[in-house]
A = this chain, B = another copy of it.
Amino acid sequence: MPEIMRINMHSGFVRREPLGGEDLILGGRRLTSKIIAEEVPPACHALGRHNKLVMACGPLGGTLVSSVNRLSCGAKSPLTGGIKESNAGGVTAYMMGRLGIRALIFEDKPEKNGVWRILRISPQGAELLPADELAGLGVFEKSERLFARHGKKAGLTLIGPVAERLLSAGGITNTDPEGMPSRYNGRGGLGAVMASKGLLGIVFSAQSAPREKYADAGRFAELNREVAKLVNTTPQTAEIFRKYGTSAMMTNTNALGALPTRNFSLGNFQEFSKINAETMYETIVARGGVGEPSHACMKGCLIRCSNVYPSADGKQVLCSPMEYETLGLMGSNLDIDDLDAIARINHKCNDLGVDTIELGAALGVAMEAGVLPFGDVSAVEKALQDVADGTPFGRVLASGASVTGIVFGCLRVPAVKNQAIPAYDPRAMKGLGVTYSTSPQGADHTAGNTARAAVKHHLKDGQAACSKGAQVGAMLADSLGLCLMLGGAVKNLNLILDLVAARYGIRPDLEKLLEEARKSLQMERDFNLRAGIGPMQDQLPEFFYEEVNPSMQSAFDLSCEEMQEVLE
């Protein structure tokens, strides 16, 4: 039976608590948020000893079912000041599942600052190892050294230099099946929370883990085949996502006038065709070599929406993966139309361990303030070097879009609850505007994406209801460890619950889980309220209400009252 492992970073003491009965279904965001809401004092300093960092997989973590191994990380966020969950692909959730760990809870912090450790977890136990010599290194160098020490089969969870400096754009990254450390729990500064605990990384060695005995292994295999068949026969997963990945979205957003361009001044990008999914696909295929237009970020995934973007000669990996949000925030939003440049920027961000959404938005704000010019790739690369060097300018950028706006006197800051808005202009896709505004997570497209809903995205009608459904759905998926991409193929979640039943012998009820998802959202909101973040923070920045998006001729026009519908 899976366990919760608590690691006290002050005493070094490790404690294990078994999960049983109904709790076997507990996982992902529902579990991280439950632990934070129950155990973290909402008013505490997010980087102080009272905060906790929680990592949880879903109830199918550790299995090879497609797209069920998302890793949720949670804490009180130093960026939003509220409760945070950010989830990622990579092998971590799988490793945790294999090691019988549903959640890791990092508590307290070391007596002294500047003392760094690594947690190594294997079937033989967990141990904190000194790691001062890794401090300050980029994520890639850290991962190479840890693989050299602990073997290539290990799974790694790491932070980079940005998080080590306690900066709010610092994320947590996880290795993919090939050992590439670029699957990010990017949002909300959770890497900074990890750093505040003196933790540089986690090494998972699961290869000698005993084979788990399922309640009904035959049934499990049969259901797994069913999932595989759905993924492989649904056009959205088997064709669009597999071929184009998340970037497939760009065609829609550009057409809708929702593609952030020049710090959310425009909603479509004149040079769109230079950076869209089709061009990226063709470039990867044409260059060949190490390039892969379709790649799995987690074990067992059949969708393979990730990719490997190669250098012009095909010999080197320029960046893996290239995703829609980064193309939007670091591409059109900065008026950069060069895929190779975006790949280099993205790769550098991955090495620094920084959220590309937050940093892209911060750069957009700095460009609007005149600190660097729009469209200037070398200025951006220089700014990234500032981030790497920890200069004041670099630190400002890596503190996020809101701090950048304050410091450089820019009023047009695309952020809600201090968290930067992802690559959907909320004036052109108003359901996302409702999600950005009302989600307890701050502006986050994954917290309730309405992009595929059957609404007129630029009109306000039905958007609040649409966002509500999407927010509950996201909570449910995030609590089951499911990749949101799976939803395109597996429309009936009972299939997933049947898999849980086949694994543990306990069949959760879907209606009950939906009810629990609603309760979890309420629990997150309650935490925020207790942290001082209330309904007044549930709104977009002023300029989205007052400036028309010229691409869609629409301003945001849902009132707070209309959006509060979501919370009922």
* Contacts from A to B (Cβ < 8 Å): 42-45, 47-48, 50, 78, 165-168, 391-393, 395-396, 399, 403, 406-409, 411, 530-537, 539, 541-542
Contacts and interface: CB of A to CB of B under 8 A. Distances in A.
B43 A536 contact: yes
Contact of A48 (B166, B408, B542): B542
Contact of A536 (B532, B536, B542): B532
B411 A395 contact: no
Most chain B CB atoms below 10 A, which of A43, A403, A536: A536
Contacts of A535: 532
A10 to B, nearest CB: 13
28 contacts: A42-B536, A43-B539, A45-B411, A45-B541, A45-B542, A47-B411, A48-B411, A78-B406, A166-B409, A167-B407, A167-B409, A168-B406, A391-B392, A392-B392, A392-B393, A395-B396, A395-B407, A396-B407, A399-B406, A399-B407, A403-B406, A403-B407, A407-B407, A530-B536, A531-B536, A532-B533, A532-B534, A534-B534
Contacts of A534: 532, 534
A470 to B, nearest CB: 25
A370 to B, nearest CB: 10
A411 B109 CA distance: 13
Contacts of A48: 411, 542
A263 to B, nearest CB: 15
Q: In the complex this chain forms, how many copies of it are found?
A: 2
A482 B473 CA distance: 59
| Smallest CB-CB A-B distances: 7 pairs | A532-B536, A166-B409, A392-B393, A392-B392, A45-B542, A395-B407, A165-B409
Given A403-B403, A403-B407, 20 more contacts: A42-B536, A43-B539, A45-B411, A45-B542, A47-B409, A48-B411, A48-B542, A50-B542, A78-B406, A166-B409, A168-B406, A392-B407, A395-B396, A395-B408, A399-B406, A407-B407, A530-B536, A531-B536, A532-B533, A532-B534
A168 B407 CA distance: 9
A533 B408 CA distance: 24
Contacts of A44: 542
A44, A409, A539 interface centre (most CB from chain B within 10 Å): A409
A537 B531 CA distance: 8
Contacts of A409: 47, 165-167
Nearest to A47: B411
A419 to B, nearest CB: 14
A408 B396 CA distance: 9
Contacts of A403: 403, 406-407
A534 B534 CA distance: 9
A99 B408 CA distance: 38
Contacts of A408: 395
A387 B408 CA distance: 12
Contacts of A45: 411, 541-542
Nearest to A532: B536
Nearest to A397: B392
A250 to B, nearest CB: 30
Contacts of A167: 406-407, 409
A78 B532 CA distance: 18
A396 B42 CA distance: 27
Nearest to A409: B166
Nearest to A165: B409
A542 to B, nearest CB: 5
Contacts of A42: 536
A531 B539 CA distance: 11
Contacts of A530: 536
